[in-house]
Chains A and B, each alone.
Chain A
Amino acid sequence: MRQFEQKATWVAYGEALVELGHQRKDLVVLDADVAKSISSNKFHKEFPERAFNVGVAEQNMMGIAAGLATTGKTVFVSTYAVFATMRACEQIRTFIANPGLNVKIGASHGGIHTGEDGVTHQAIEDLGIIRSIPGITIFSPSDAVFAAKCTHLAAEMEGPVYIRLTRNPVPVFHSINDDFIVGKAVELVDYGTDVTIVATGIMVFKALEAAGRLKKKGVCSKVLEVHTIRPLDRETLVAAARETGAVVIAEDHNINGGLGSAVAEVLGEEYPVPIERVGLRDTYGESGEGETLLTAYRMNTEHIEEACLKVIRKKDKKSY
């Protein structure tokens, strides 16, 4: 595979906020003392009158965001996914999602790929938590290009949006011309009909690597990138299941509650086929380098590849 530029999605998010700040006067940015770590500090420098740092107080930040949104502002709040979705979960649910207010949550440090900071800072439950709260659009971009695109889309949309960002630099494999359509899965490669790999976030690039390795072994897969976890593209998922008869879902998240669960729900209802979920198997991460952790917890490229071979065996034996 060719070499790509490495960039963290939160960097692209912060750049997009500044662009949006120039385009829209109604945009207000709130932070809770990690503006530097999610690069929203650039917006603070550019538009100090429309940027507020509330200190280490995420619940207060969400409440303030709700209040600002009721005055007609489009409000971006930025923090780490663990703090957004757990410490301030109820504020998101009752005061932002239920009334459908225009608050966009930029949440960094999704997944164990976050690395060295360890369990406290690795969000492995956030997608499951937000997915169970009605009324929030959920984006999970795979690289810096899509992170920027979905940040712009979030500002244009009515209502609450959750943007899952990741801490470490990852390959920028999308071109600026690639379409990001809300709620539409992207078919990145289509080598054949043996298996479908459905992936989100940093696992999309790993899915592409796995597909390439499988192809060399004569196994033909297709890769679907799901950048919008809600609304989920049921139609494309069912069509792919129908075509390949076997599905692997890969995400840097607990296997309970995230994309794997979401896809299993859809296929279970509409077109049951054997599946394998690649993700954190209902346990916690630990400190260590991101790639080391993905390998140790069986979530790296080779594990997606293994899962594909396993699910194809299941399909062939009809042992499901």
Chain B
Amino acid sequence: MDLALIKKLETTAKEIRKDVVEMIYHAGSGHPGGSLSAADLITALYFNELNIDPKNPRWEDRDRFILSKGHCCPVLYAALARVGFFPLEELKTLRKFRSRLQGHPSMNKTPGVDMNSGSLGNGISIGIGRALGARLDGKSYRVFVMVGDGELQEGMNWEALMAAAHFKLKNLIVIIDYNNLQVDGSVDEIMDIAPLKQKITAFGWQVYEVDGHNMREILDTFARIRHSSWKGPSAIIAYTVKGKGVSFMENRVEWHGRALSQRELEVALKELDGRETGEAI
């Protein structure tokens, strides 16, 4: 495994986390918790795994990515900006009137955003459509869908999991950001989705489990899927920490959807930079 690459991606993920807290501070609303839990996975995708061309956002042969947990779009926008789809300065326009960066992803407004999302439970179905489209056209691009754990309480996901295996969609990869927190509390207390690996396996998928904050494991899992001889769809259950990287947000349900104050932003940025804060929030 390329240590320099891992180091580089870890640094990028840190920058993206800083973008996320800054964007949400400027917007005055948004969803930091799930954006931070997904930051390492999104970084691995956009800076290593996805075959994309920021100069040509609608390139026909690009890999597709659907952020089904659309409320976490700050982390997606930050990655898109840093990989070159649009200027970094634009990140501060998140959620503002006439901004290209809508409160939830909008495919016709933001370069690099592949699909509308934010109404939960829909992403895997849409991913199936694109994976079927690729197959019909004889194209080799792949379709990645990221879903939240709470999101899997929506029944439509299970219609889609069934169909993807039935259609043997090898070119479809679903990543589950399993941070175990949702709006009203912890996922296992509100409506438990466990045992998730057994359920998805039983639906006919190949399932991997990773530490969603361990860049080496993440890259290794993507590589294993790429080289796998499995004929059907693959899922990655990524165990993550909601609010990862900012101590006062980690595993705290109230940071699912609220903005940071100026003082909170300062502390968060210091922490993400690895500086001593000496402050408790």
Contact of B119 with A by CB under 8 A: yes
Whether B156 contacts A73 by the Cβ 8 Å rule is no
CB-CB under 8 A from A73, the residues of chain B are 133, 136
Q: State whether the Cβ of A70 lies closer than 8 Å to any Cβ in chain B.
A: yes
- Residues of chain A within 8 A (CB-CB) of B129 are 63-71, 75
- Answer whether residue B126 sits at the interface, using C-beta atoms and an 8 A cutoff: yes
In the assembled complex, the CB of A98 is this many whole angstroms from the nearest CB of chain B, namely 6
* B273 nearest CB across to chain A (Å): 38
* A interface residues, Cβ below 8 angstroms from B: 28, 49-50, 52, 54-55, 57, 59-60, 62-73, 75, 90-91, 94-95, 98-100
Q: Count B interface residues, CB 8 Å.
A: 28
Instruction: Give the A-B pair count, Cβ closer than 8 A.
Output: 98
Give residues 122-145 of B contacting A (CB, 8 Å): 122, 124-134, 136-137
B116 and A67 contact, CB distance less than 8 A: no
Q: How far is the CB of A92 from chain B (nearest CB, A)?
A: 11
| Minimum C-beta distance from B212 to chain A (A) | 25
Residues of A with C-beta under 8 A to B156: 57, 59-60, 63
Given contacts A52-B167, A55-B162, A57-B159, contact A90 B134 (CB under 8 A): no
Distance between Cα atoms of A98 and B162 in the complex (Å): 27
B53 close to chain A: CB less than 8 A: no
Would you give the shortest CB distance from B144 to chain A, in whole angstroms?
Answer: 13
State whether A63 and B119 are in contact (beta carbons under 8 Å apart), knowing that A55-B162, A99-B108 are contacts in the complex: no
From known contacts A54-B163, A69-B129, A70-B115, infer whether A63 and B122 are also in contact, taking CB-CB under 8 Å: yes
Q: Which of B115, B127, B137 has the most CB of A within 10 A?
A: B115
Q: Which residues of A contact B162 (CB under 8 A)?
A: 55, 57
CB–CB B115/A60 < 8 A: no
List B contacts of A75 (CB < 8 A).
Answer: 129
Is B160 touching A60 in the complex (CB atoms < 8 A)?
yes
| Residues of the A chain whose Cβ atoms lie less than 8 Å from the Cβ of B108 | 99-100
Inside 8 A of A63's CB, which chain B residues have their CB? 122, 124-126, 128-129, 156, 160
